[in-house]
Copies of this chain bind each other. A is one copy, B any other.
Amino acid sequence: MELIRSIPDMQAWPYPAQAKVGFVPTMGFLHEGHLSLVDVARRDCDVVAVSIFVNPAQFGPHEDLESYPRDLKRDLDLLESRGVDLVFLPEAATMYPKGYRSWVEVEELSDLLCGASRPGHFRGVCTVVLKLINIVSPDRIYMGEKDFQQLTILRQMTNDLNIPVEIVGCPIIREKDGLAQSSRNVYLSEEQRHSASSLYRAIMQARKMVANGITQSVKLIDEASQILIESGAELDYVKIVSSDDLSEQDIVEAASRIVIAVRFGKTRLIDNMLLKA
A residues with CB within 8 A of B: 7, 11, 99-109, 126-127, 130-131, 134-135, 137, 156-157, 160-164, 245
Contact = CB atoms under 8 A, between A and B. Distances in A.
Contacts of A107: 101-103
Nearest to A127: B161
Q: How many copies does the complex hold?
A: 2
**Chain A interface, >50% SS class:** mixed
A7 B161 CA distance: 11
A104 B101 contact: no
A134 B162 CA distance: 6
A102 B157 contact: yes
B161 A130 contact: yes
Nearest to A157: B102
A130 B102 CA distance: 12
A220 to B, nearest CB: 27
Given A101-B160, A104-B105, 14 more contacts: A7-B162, A101-B107, A101-B109, A101-B156, A102-B106, A102-B126, A102-B156, A102-B157, A102-B160, A102-B161, A127-B161, A131-B162, A134-B161, A135-B162
B102 A105 contact: yes
Contacts of A126: 102
A11 B164 contact: yes
A22 B258 CA distance: 48
Contacts of A162: 7, 11, 131, 134-135
A140 to B, nearest CB: 16
Contact of A105 (B7, B103, B130): B103
Contact of A104 (B11, B103, B108, B135): B103
